[in-house]
Amino acid sequence: MEHIKERFLKYVSFDTQSDPSSSSTPSTEKQWDLANFLVEELKQIGLQDVSIDEHAYIMATLPSNVEHSVPVIGFISHFDTSPDYTATNVKPQIHENYNGEDIVLNKEQNIVLSPSYFDDLLLYKGQTLITTDGTTLLGADDKAGIAEIVTAMEYLIAHPEIKHGAIRIGFTPDEEIGLGAHKFDVEKFNAEWAYTMDGSQVGELEYENFNAAGAVVTVKGKIVHPGYAKGKMINSMLIANQFIAALPQHEIPQETEGYEGFFHLTDIKGSVEETSLEYIIRDHDMDLYEKRKKQMLQVANDLNETLGMEAIEISIKDQYFNMREKVEPVMHIVDVAEQAMKEIGIKPLIKAIRGGTDGSQLSYKGLPCPNIFAGGHNFHGRYEYVPVESMVKAAQVIVKIAELTALK
């Protein structure tokens, strides 16, 4: 526990926040700091073929220690953190033997992590929690995953009596802005399948995710002096409000769960003359996903017809697709992970991801890639935390998967 904790704390000391407005890869120069540190660490623990390319994608190999043929498998995590919340000067706090009560993250600013609001905290009574100080995110998404993979590889190297095939590991930039897999070289990685260590609660095992699109709605108006505006002014913000109201009011993130999709308004910028709305569109079912895109376009067409002008334009771009289609033909890779969890006393929680993952894009690039828990909670904000015991269990799952694969 102490070893993986200290490794994680070292990783979160690096600010690796990505930037969606950047056109470079990685999207921020500061991601290189942790990337270069990881390269040296991988060499130090004894991995082979350690490489980092011009875009900061890291790959390395743990060679097989068996003579018979074993599928090459991989484990993947990302080292960037969300652009939605600051990751500068992270000050982690350690809470040993958590008692199930409120945790004061920042007394001066009255920031409290409370089980009355985040009831999953009660799952970890008696355990050691790592939290923020309330002023930054923590970075468990996904530096916990990296710590688990590195620790598991180090353990396998130190315990050659545990038999395994060749294992490839990969660390990526820019996952948080949807670009983590875009320049990932699947052919170079050369694994039959892989697992992203990027889930949350202990036991999570996921091979389904949203189909996803981003939409930009541009509304045009006309500005004239308000004192002489009758019959002349067209206020784009009011038209934008009509557009928002015309979409299903209950199909939004805060009122949906499970397999329910949604329209999510993420940003508004407006003036009388022009208003821009940014949406994300999500659904697990491909037919419903396509229906949502058509529905948004139809709302715009109907309003334009009512207004008697082309006031609204929409641009919709697909972002990623449900990896279930690519994983179901090779479901044994999910079965191995499920068996690994059971053998070390973890109850598997097989469910659909209400989000995306590098594994989705990698699956469509030819590398089937389910997602396994990394242990963190409340990602992308000041209330993020991770139990150290959860990171240990995730590392144990990696070791057990490697062991079971060598038996197949």
Residue 119: which residues within 8 A CB-CB, separation 6 or more?
A: none
Six token digits for residue 288? 């419903």
Q: Which of 52-61, 128-137, 175-184, 207-216 has the lowest mean pLDDT?
A: 175-184
The residue assigned the tokens 């600010």 is 15
Cα separation, 178 vs 405, whole angstroms: 30
Q: Is it the case that residue 179 has pLDDT exceeding 90?
A: no
Please choose, from the candidates 362, 368, 385, 358, the residue with its C-alpha nearest in 3D space to the C-alpha of residue 328.
Answer: 368
pLDDT (0 to 100) of residue 408: 58
CA 372 to mean position of chain CA atoms: 12
Residue 384: which residues within 8 A CB-CB, separation 6 or more?
A: 131, 132, 137, 138, 139, 140, 141, 376, 377, 378
What average pLDDT does the segment 281-290 reach?
Answer: 97
Written out in words, the top-level CATH class of the domain with range 2-209+322-405 is alpha beta
Q: Is it the case that residue 4 has pLDDT exceeding 90?
A: yes
pLDDT (0 to 100) of residue 319: 87
Percent of the chain predicted with pLDDT > 90 = 94
What average pLDDT does the segment 102-125 reach?
Answer: 95
If one counts every other C-beta atom within 10 angstroms of the C-beta of residue 269, the result is 10
pLDDT tens figures, 220-259? 999 999 999 999 999 999 999 999 999 999 999 999 999 9
Cα separation, 8 vs 32, whole angstroms: 17
- What kind of fold does domain 211-320 have according to CATH? Alpha-Beta Plaits (3.30.70)
* Amino acid residing at 187: E
pLDDT tens figures, 119-157? 999 999 999 999 999 999 999 999 999 999 999 999 999
Q: Is it the case that residue 357 has pLDDT exceeding 90?
A: no
* 251 bridge partner residues: none
Six token digits for residue 191? 């694994």
* 106 bridge partner residues: 111
- Model pTM? 0.89
Cα 297 to Cα 10, 40, 130, 158, 247, distances in angstroms:
48, 50, 45, 58, 11
The separation between the first and the last C-alpha atoms of the chain, rounded to the nearest angstrom, is 30
pLDDT (0 to 100) of residue 268: 97
Confidence of residue 355 (pLDDT cuts 50, 70, 90): confident
Q: Is it the case that residue 382 has pLDDT exceeding 90?
A: yes
Please choose, from the candidates 388, 397, 368, 404, the residue with its C-alpha nearest in 3D space to the C-alpha of residue 5.
Answer: 388
Please choose, from the candidates 30, 262, 78, the residue with its C-alpha nearest in 3D space to the C-alpha of residue 176.
Answer: 78
Strands 93-95 and 312-320, sheet pairing: unpaired
3-state helix, strand, coil in the chain (%, to 5): 35, 25, 40
Q: Are 12 and 90 in contact (CB under 8 A)?
A: yes
Q: Which residues are catalytic?
A: 80, 175
Q: Is it the case that residue 397 has pLDDT exceeding 90?
A: yes
Residue 122: which residues within 8 A CB-CB, separation 6 or more?
A: 100, 115
pLDDT tens figures, 193-202? 999 999 899 9
Average model confidence (pLDDT) across the chain: 96
Six token digits for residue 282? 């999500």
Q: Residue 211 belongs to what H/E stretch?
A: strand 211-220
Confidence of residue 339 (pLDDT cuts 50, 70, 90): very high
Q: Is it the case that residue 309 has pLDDT exceeding 70?
A: yes
Q: Which of 73-82, 173-182, 276-285 has the lowest mean pLDDT?
A: 173-182
What average pLDDT does the segment 13-26 reach?
Answer: 95
pLDDT (0 to 100) of residue 178: 83
Cα separation, 168 vs 112, whole angstroms: 40
Domain boundaries, the chain: 2-209+322-405, 211-320
pLDDT tens figures, 36-46? 999 999 999 99
